[in-house]
Amino acid sequence: MPVITTIEDLRVLAKKRVPRMFYDYADSGSWTESTYRANSSDFQAIKLRQRVAVNMENRSTATQMIGQRVAMPVAIAPTGLTGMQHADGEILGALAAKKFGIPFTLSTMSICSIEDIAQATDRHPFWFQLYVMKDRGFIERLIDRAKAANCSALVLTLDLQILGQRHKDLKNGLSAPPRLTVANILNLMTKPRWCLGMLGTPRRNFGNIFGHVDGIENMGSLSEWTAKQFDPGLNWGDVEWIKKRWGGKLILKGIQDTEDARLAVDSGADALIVSNHGGRQLDGAESSIRALPAIVEAVGQRIEVHMDGGIRSGQDVLKARALGAKGTYIGRSFLYGLGAMGEDGVTKALQIIHRELDLTMAFCGHTNIETVDRSILLPGTFPT
C-alpha cells in the first residue's frame, strides 16, 4: 500500500481500483471540461499571507453550517452513483462523516437508499439532496421519506433541469450496474476488489427510485424514466412549494449569478451553494471560487453562503472561507477516498483536508476558523 498524504494520492489509487466508466463519471466535466479544470486552477492562483511570531496554540476549525455544529466548514457533497465507486458507498461515506463530525448529503440518484443510510447510521441526522422530477407525487414521497429518516436539511439542486454534454459518460455507455459488454467485462477483470465488493451487496440499483415508482421493473425502464423525468420547467414557484412541503432547513444548490442569489434570498431558503455542478453542466461558466465573492457581497448576511467545486485540499477550504463561504462541500475528494479504500479512504480524505486546513490557518496567523477573513489573502491574487 502506498503512503497516502494528499487527495491526489487517493485519486491515483481510486483510478486503479474503480471501473473506468465510474471513475470517469466522477473525474470529468462537460464539453471541453474548461470549467471543471478552472474550479481547481483558480484556487491555485489565490495566494496566502504568511504570518510569524503568532501564538499557534489551542487551534480550532469547529464552526456551524445552517446552525449545525461541524468539526470543520466542510460537508460531503451529494454525488450520484456513489455506490458504484465502492460497494455500499453512500453508507460508508455517511458513517465516516458521522464519526468525523461533518454533514453527509445523500443524492436522489444514489445507489443506497434514504432508508439504508438511516438504518446504517442509527438515524443520525444527514442531509438529502433533491432533484425535481415531473412526477410531483414521487417528489412528495421522497420528501416524506427524508423526513421519516431524520434528515435535518434538504438540498435542492437547481442546475440540472437538463443534462450537460458529458462526453466520457456517453462514450463509456454509463449505466448502473454496468452493462456486460466485451469492453466492460475486460475492464472489470482488472478490478477484482471492486467486483468482490459488488458481489457482496444487494445494492446495485438506484435505491431511492427502484421499488418506489410504478412501472420500474428493470434498468432499461429506469433509464427511460429518469431521462424523461428531470423537469426543464423548474421555477421559483416550485422552490416555494418544496419549501412548504419540506418545512425544515432548505439549501439551494447551483447558484452562480448574483441575480439568482437575490432570488434565493427572497425564496426564504436558509442557505445557498455557489456551484456549477463540478463543471458538469455549463462548460465555460465561471469557476465557483471566482463567482463566490460577488454573491457574498450581493446577499450580505441575509442568507448563509456555501460553495463547492474544485476543493482538493484544506487550503482550498480556507481560501473559500476567507472569501465569505460559511461552508464548503467535497465531492470528488470524497469519491477518490471512497474508490481507493472504502470507508477508511473517506476518513483519510477528511483527515488530510482537516490537517491542511488547520496548519494553513496557523501559518496565516489564526487559531480559530471564525476569525479568518480576506486579510489572510495577498491583495491582487483573489477575485473581487
Annotated binding site for FMN: 78-80, 107, 129, 157, 253, 275, 308-312, 331-332
Peptide bond before 383: cis, by omega within 30 degrees of 0?
no
> From CA 230, how far away is CA 39, in angstroms rounded?
26
Region label for 258, one of left (φ > 0), alpha (ψ between -120 and 50) or beta (otherwise)? alpha
Crossing angle between the packed helical segments 236-246 and 136-148, to the nearest 10 degrees = 40
Active-site pick, 124, 167, 212, 277:
277
**Residue pair 250/243 in contact by the 8 Å Cβ criterion:** yes
If we measure between CA atoms, which residue out of 340, 325, 334, 311 comes closest to residue 100? 334
Q: 11 has which bridge partners? A: none
Active site residue 277: yes
**Residue pair 339/358 in contact by the 8 Å Cβ criterion:** no
Binding-site entries: 25, 78-80, 107, 129, 131, 157, 166, 253, 275, 277, 280, 308-312, 331-332
Helices (H) and strands (E) in the chain, counts: 15, 10
Binding-site entries for glyoxylate: 25, 131, 166, 277, 280
> From CA 334, how far away is CA 331, in angstroms rounded?
5
Cell of 98: 458521522
**Angle at Cα 341 formed by Cα 338 and Cα 343, nearest 5°?**
60
> From CA 198, how far away is CA 346, in angstroms rounded?
18
If we measure between CA atoms, which residue out of 94, 211, 205, 107 comes closest to residue 155? 107
Task: Give the burial string for 14-38 (b: 16+ CB within 10 Å, else e).
Answer: bbebbbbbbbbbbbbbbbebbbbeb
Q: Where are the alpha helices (DSSP H) in 247-287?
A: 258-266
* Catalytic residue annotation: 277
